[in-house]
Amino acid sequence: MLDWTDRHCRFFHRLLAPHAWLYTEMITTGALLHGDLARHLRFNDEEHPVALQLGGSEPAALAHCARLAEEWGYDEVNLNCGCPSERVQNGAFGACLMAEPELVRDGIKAMQDAVGIPITVKHRIGIDRGEDYAFVRDFVGTVAQGGAKTFIVHARNAWLQGLSPKENREVPPLRYDFAWQLKRDFPQLEILVNGGISGIDAIHTQLEHIDGVMIGREAYHNPWMLVEWEQALFDVEWVPQRADIVDALIAYCEREQAEHGTPLRAMVRHVLGLGNGLPGARSFRRILSDPQALKDAKPALIRTAWAEVNKQIA
């Protein structure tokens, strides 16, 4: 979810889903070794539990970055072995690492030895057009030798040539049965599934076979579904109203502007779907995506935009 699940997005999602485990954008080891640590690693206390997703392949660099994650207070480090973009391939990490399970195992072992927080893996079920369950089974079996106990399975192949990253999320067929079989073959491991899951019925179906579900773009585009999933899956004592979320967002944006000078547009771009399905949602999106309205705007603009929804509901 590069350029999507930044700390502002994660704060918003935490308001909606108190029980969810949140993940950062993929951050490369190079960015942490040579870049601005605060820019890449700062997060809000409210986000816990939150995992740092790393992109990299060199065990020593991964171990160093895992130590940084632990020092900054992250609850987990997740190694990305699923991103298919050419830019990532050129860096020799992401989905192409599935062809080198021993290297991934060694990276996991180096991180496990360096920190006390969990080290997990996100991966595809295969690379290119070969659909052989034995490939992902052997990958998981080898990588687990490094100490990883949690595997998040994007249940599609990653085609390393000929498809854009967007097409790689849509064209290769979903094979949830591969993830389910992994759980049967490795009952001692925690197996989660990702890809194409959008409703509570689909979530319940997955949970009959595996340990958890990761949802990305559906939660981003239709964020109120997070509230509905919380109600369906957990013993929820209090259900927020959208107006409560608006109030919390305004307070957060005021804090961010005061402490860090964060432009409002950088924060509200993640909340455009809050009114989806309600009259006035289009006006809400229009106001919060208008460059002129956002220029030097104060967080109270969020309430102005939300009034368009309330006006049409009333």
Pairing assessment for the beta strands 22-28 and 150-158 based on DSSP bridges? unpaired
The pLDDT value given to residue 83: 85
pLDDT for 143 beyond 90 = yes
All residues at 6 or more sequence positions from 212 whose CB lies less than 8 Å from its CB, including other chains? 190, 191, 192, 193
Query: Do residues 43 and 50 make contact, with C-beta atoms less than 8 angstroms apart?
Result: yes
Average pLDDT value over all residues in the chain: 93
Q: Backbone phi, then psi, for 153, in 5-degree steps?
A: -105, 110
Considering the entire predicted model, what is its pTM? 0.93
Q: With bands split at pLDDT 50, 70 and 90, how would you rate the model's confidence at 87?
A: low
Q: Is residue 314 over pLDDT 70?
A: no
At the topology level of CATH, where does 242-313 sit? Answer: Four Helix Bundle (Hemerythrin (Met), subunit A) (1.20.120)
Confirm if 189 and 118 have CB atoms less than 8 A apart.
no
CATH topology of domain 7-224: TIM Barrel (3.20.20)
At 186-215, the pLDDT tens digits run: 999 999 999 999 899 999 999 999 999 999
The pLDDT score that the predictor gives to residue 310 is 74
Residue extents of the structural domains in the chain: 7-224, 242-313
Q: How far is CA 15 from CA 10, 243, 245, in A?
A: 9, 12, 7
Residue 97 falls in which region: left (phi positive, over 0), alpha (psi -120 to 50) or beta: alpha
List the beta bridge partners of residue 151: 121, 191
Q: Of residues 309 and 13, which shows the higher confidence score?
A: 13
80 pairs with which residues across the strands?
122
The model's confidence at residue 312, banded by pLDDT at 50, 70 and 90, is low
User: pLDDT tens for residues 106-135?
Assistant: 999 999 999 999 999 999 999 988 889 999
Nearest to 285 by CA among 261, 301, 299, 262: 301
Residue type, 235: D
Which residues carry out catalysis? Answer: 83
Percent of the chain whose pLDDT exceeds 90: 82
